Amino acid sequence: MLERYFVRPDTVDRIRGCWLGEPIERYVEWLTAQEYRPRCVTRRVPILMRFGEFAQARGVTTQAQLPALVDPFAAQWLERHGRHCRTAVARRKVLHEARNPVRQMLRLVLPGYAGTGRRKWADPPFLQRAPGFFTYLREERGLRPASLVEYEQYLGRFEAYLARIELQQLADLTPPVLSAFLIDSSPALGKTALRGLCGVLRVFLRYLHREGLSPTDLSTAVESPRGYRLSEVPRAISWADVRRMLAVIDRRTPVGRRDYAILLLLVTYGLRAREVASLTLDDLDWQRERLRVPERKAGHSTAYPLSPLVGAAILDYLQHGRPTTEDRHVFFRVLAPPQPLTWQAVSARASNYLHRAGVQVGRPGSHTLRHTCVQRLVDADFALKTIGDYVGHASADSTRIYAKVAVEALRDVALGDGEAVL
């Protein structure tokens, strides 16, 4: 496999002669199977060679000793190759360049090695003091993995706070402790995040009381910040801004073809990022010119007429941008290994192009384009019930906020007696 990437025989011999030669060759085979580009392979192998020399210089003789040297090696790499980095982002990129291939190789050769992931907590919080809580969330309440991660983040914050004040027993929790925790957390959280924290905390406290881990049900002592329904205006943008955003996409590249199709889906049908990410090839009915969106947030599915513009953009991506894979998802990341695009990535792409186009809007993302789709329907004088059905609202209450942006109807109310409108 090494001969595929390195032409000179002495280079191949030198790699195989290294004391990490066999793990490096296994890693190259894995990179090839994951469809990494040759340039990536030829860039990573020398880094692994340097890592082997670094380990030998420190007297390491077995592969089991290698994990302890990952961070020291990355620090040395940064010292040598990051001297001209002017920003923290650039330095982190250099560190990642050294750490990532080493960790990937060690995962292949060392059973049980996981490296350092992005999760803040290695184990779910309160695993020892409330061991069945996450099983309860998963099996009894049926929460999705993304919701479980949110619970871990919020309860990890709570567990860290209890450790800081040295409160060991959950039975010793009191309303003043809970209030102090919320006050301590509020400066770092927005109103929505603080409401989420309070909701998670109430579920956890009710579980503790149910399982006898807390003598009283303290969930009633946790009050969420007051929220006012319909207090905000949806963050839509004008159709001229939509055109500016689409114009900055370079549709000559696979990334551009993919992102152009994604943004058209968001702004044409008002889809959520999760709905775009979950689309499969089976949801595209080319013969009937239909687009099916299954398992929407409201618990139903929707079938749309497939717009010629949207259909042409998706077809262009499928023919000239989508990687060859047996996975049926429509949209994939471009970098190896080819994996379906996540909903977070969909929203991030929308935010990226809004910024690049210079469109000023609060909290730019995929929902900005969803609001824009609804705003266009409101401007076209569609009934709110029709709009709600089109974008997949479960209740008319969810659509009611868009009455605040029905400018012409509001102008008629302001200028006349309003009876004809009402």
Q: pLDDT 10s digit of each residue in the chain, 422 long?
A: 889 999 899 999 999 999 999 999 999 999 998 888 899 999 999 999 999 999 999 999 899 999 999 999 999 999 998 888 888 888 989 999 999 999 999 999 998 887 754 444 457 899 899 999 999 999 999 998 888 989 999 999 999 999 999 999 999 999 999 999 999 999 988 888 899 999 999 999 999 999 999 999 999 999 888 766 655 667 789 999 999 999 999 999 999 999 999 999 999 999 999 999 999 999 999 999 999 998 787 677 889 999 999 999 999 999 999 998 899 999 999 888 889 999 999 999 999 999 999 999 888 999 999 999 988 888 888 888 888 888 888 777 777 777 655 555 555 655 665 555 45
* Distance in angstroms (rounded) separating the CA atoms of residues 92 and 94: 5
Residue 384 belongs to some domain of the structure: yes
Closest CA to 295 of 277, 268, 269: 277
Retrieve residue 137's tokens: 């969330």
Residue 50 belongs to some domain of the structure: yes
Residues 347 and 401 in one domain: yes
93 catalytically annotated: no
Q: Which of 157, 251, 257, 272 is catalytic?
A: 272
Residue 231 belongs to some domain of the structure: no
- Name the domain boundary from 221, 252, 286: 221
Residues 65 and 143 in one domain: no
* Distance in angstroms (rounded) separating the CA atoms of residues 59 and 57: 6
Angle, to 10 degrees, between the axis of helix 70-81 and the axis of helix 38-57?
Answer: 110
297 catalytically annotated: yes
Q: Which of 5, 151, 154, 402 is catalytic?
A: 402
* Distance in angstroms (rounded) separating the CA atoms of residues 16 and 76: 24
Residues 308 and 336 in one domain: yes
Q: What is the CATH number of the domain that holds 314?
A: 1.10.443.10
The secondary structure element, H or E, covering residue 402 is: none
* Distance in angstroms (rounded) separating the CA atoms of residues 213 and 207: 8
Residue 371 belongs to some domain of the structure: yes
* Distance in angstroms (rounded) separating the CA atoms of residues 287 and 133: 48
Residues 139 and 281 in one domain: no
370 catalytically annotated: yes
Q: Which of 157, 257, 370, 376 is catalytic?
A: 370
pTM attached to this predicted model: 0.70
226 catalytically annotated: no
Closest CA to 160 of 106, 121, 189: 121
Residue 96 belongs to some domain of the structure: yes
Retrieve residue 146's tokens: 């993304």
Decide: 109 and 63 in contact? Cβ < 8 Å.
Answer: yes
Retrieve residue 23's tokens: 């793990």
Residue 335 belongs to some domain of the structure: yes
Find the length of the chain.
Answer: 422
- At residue 254, what is the residue type? P
300 catalytically annotated: no
Q: Map tokens 């080319």 to a residue.
A: 286
272 catalytically annotated: yes
Helix (H, G, I), strand (E, B) or coil at 197: helix
Q: Count of alpha carbons within 13 Å of 191, Cβ hemisphere only?
A: 4
Residues 263 and 385 in one domain: yes
Residue 115 belongs to some domain of the structure: no
How many helices (H) and strands (E) would you count in the chain?
Answer: 18, 3
Q: Which of 37, 96, 288, 297 is catalytic?
A: 297
Residues 217 and 261 in one domain: no
Residues 98 and 146 in one domain: no
Helix (H, G, I), strand (E, B) or coil at 100: helix
Helix (H, G, I), strand (E, B) or coil at 229: coil
* Distance in angstroms (rounded) separating the CA atoms of residues 380 and 405: 12
Residue 30 belongs to some domain of the structure: yes
* Distance in angstroms (rounded) separating the CA atoms of residues 186 and 84: 39
| Buried b or exposed e, range 36-61, using 16+ CB within 10 angstroms | beeeebeebbebbbbbbebbeeeebe
- State the greatest distance between any 2 C-alpha atoms of the chain, in Å, as a whole number: 90
* Distance in angstroms (rounded) separating the CA atoms of residues 259 and 339: 15
Q: What is the CATH number of the domain that holds 214?
A: 1.10.150
Q: Which of 257, 322, 367, 371 is catalytic?
A: 367
Q: What is the DSSP letter of 280?
A: B
* Distance in angstroms (rounded) separating the CA atoms of residues 335 and 323: 10
Closest CA to 265 of 307, 325, 302: 307
Residues 137 and 205 in one domain: yes
Residues 217 and 244 in one domain: no
Cα–Cα distances in angstroms (integers) from residue 105 to residues 4, 59, 109, 351, in the given order: 19, 20, 7, 34
Retrieve residue 121's tokens: 């907590």
Residues 360 and 248 in one domain: yes
Q: Map tokens 């692994």 to a residue.
A: 48
How many domains does the chain divide into? 3
Residues 318 and 406 in one domain: yes
Residues 253 and 285 in one domain: yes
Domain that holds residue 163: 133-221
